[in-house]
Structure 1
Amino acid sequence: MMNIKPSAAIRKNYNEISELCKRSGEPVYLTKNGEGDLVVMNIEAFARRESMLRLREDLIAAEEGRLKGKSGYSIDNVAALMKAAVQEVLDGQRK
């Protein structure tokens, strides 16, 4: 569900918006004069999203390398990398 609020809401209802971000784990989109202006999100959700984006970038780079004929990783290497990535995301959720 997309949470949309007018920009004045951040000044008037900071605690309410903060709680909404924490409770939903989703960003809140702020509008100004009816147009999109800012996105506000909980720091843990942001860190989790950043971790997932880094993982995605790493996977894309690995696939591009594979397609160019670069040597890959063994199954054990991949399993260890995946476990580390999952643990990073889980650690970010616990904070």
Structure 2
Amino acid sequence: MPHNRPVSDLRNNFADISRTVHETREPVFLTKNGYGDMVVMSLEAYEQKQFESEIYFKL
């Protein structure tokens, strides 16, 4: 299930967002005025996505 949070949580609840992305290995989608604005994910999850993307590209 996607994790959606307001972008203000990045400032006010950074530790909670950090814990969420590391424990679930899933991205957190941040919204601004109710619309998608950015995505936060752990470095490990990002590197895995990059690796998978490179493999798919080579195929």
TM range (shorter): over 0.9
Which runs of structure 1 show a deviation greater than 4 angstroms over 4 or more consecutive aligned residues?
none
The answer for the alignment partner of 1:54 in structure 2 is: 54
Aligned residues with identical type, % of pairs: 37
The answer for the alignment partner of 1:39 in structure 2 is: 39
Q: For 1:18 and 1:46, how far apart are their aligned partners in 2?
A: 14
TM-score, normalised relative to structure 2:
0.98
Q: CA RMSD in A?
A: 0.4
Higher strand share: 2
Higher helix share: 1
TM-score, normalised relative to structure 1:
0.62
Q: How big is the shift at 1:19?
A: 0.4
Consecutive unaligned residues of structure 2, counting only runs of 5 or more, are none
Q: For 1:49 and 1:3, how far apart are their aligned partners in 2?
A: 18
